[in-house]
Amino acid sequence: MPKAVFFDLDGTLFDRDAAVLGLFAEQHRAFESELGGVPREAFLERLLELDDHGHADKRALYGILVRELGLSDHLADRLLDHYRAAYAAFGALFADALPTLGALRARGLRLGIITNGRADVQSGKVQRLGLEPHVDAVLISEREGFKKPDRRLFERALERVGVVAADAWHVGDHPVADVAGAVAAGLTAVWRHVPYWPEPATPALTISALAELVSHVDHALR
């Protein structure tokens, strides 16, 4: 019987792909005169490929891009600075994120967010999206000193909300960081199916949208 549900942030609660697509489009507009005539669609396609849905190092990403275009490393630095400064303004939660959190809260569950990433970026995102009032704990890898799938990050989350692993679920889109990491820490894993990651090797409950989670929780609470 679940007493707590934790969520990954990017790709699970937050539509990160839409956010970076908007940001990369803005970068092409802002830096078009310096990009050697590369078309907008080609620029977006290559950056999205290099980004690897948020799992690529951003400095390396822009370094590869400018080398491929035959441009200066200085431009890579400026693109990176622009990314860091502008990213927080782009993107939104998936439409069913807040209704799902509200429904779970109404059922008396403790809620939390467990996310990898920079503390300033991820905490700023949580605040901008208005998530703080809806959860009991937010754990960010840089701030905690552990990165998913390290089980210590999940164990720390359990301590923050006061439940044991057997009574907690974790919902995320990544088959290793979220699913395998949660299972290794003793939590029930829920995979938010996305087309770009392979199916988890570790068995997990699978959902296609966050709203589906509520019925699974109701079934487990019976």
C-alpha torsion sign, points 162, 165, 166, 169: positive
- Residue 26 confidence (pLDDT): 97
- In this model, does residue 89 exceed pLDDT 90? no
Confidence class for position 88, pLDDT limits 50, 70, 90: confident
- In this model, does residue 203 exceed pLDDT 90? no
Confidence class for position 222, pLDDT limits 50, 70, 90: confident
- In this model, does residue 44 exceed pLDDT 90? yes
CA nearest to 14, candidates 105, 112, 91: 91
Tokens describing residue 133: 């009032």
In whole angstroms, how large is the CA radius of gyration of the chain?
19
pLDDT of 142-180, one tens digit each?
999 999 999 999 999 999 999 999 999 999 999 999 999
- In this model, does residue 109 exceed pLDDT 90? yes
C-alpha torsion sign, points 153, 158, 164, 165: negative
Mean pLDDT of 177-206: 96
Q: What is the pTM of this model?
A: 0.91
More confident position, 93 or 121: 93
Confidence class for position 1, pLDDT limits 50, 70, 90: confident
- Residue 127 confidence (pLDDT): 94
Q: Are 27 and 48 in contact (CB under 8 A)?
A: no
Tokens describing residue 15: 């539509």
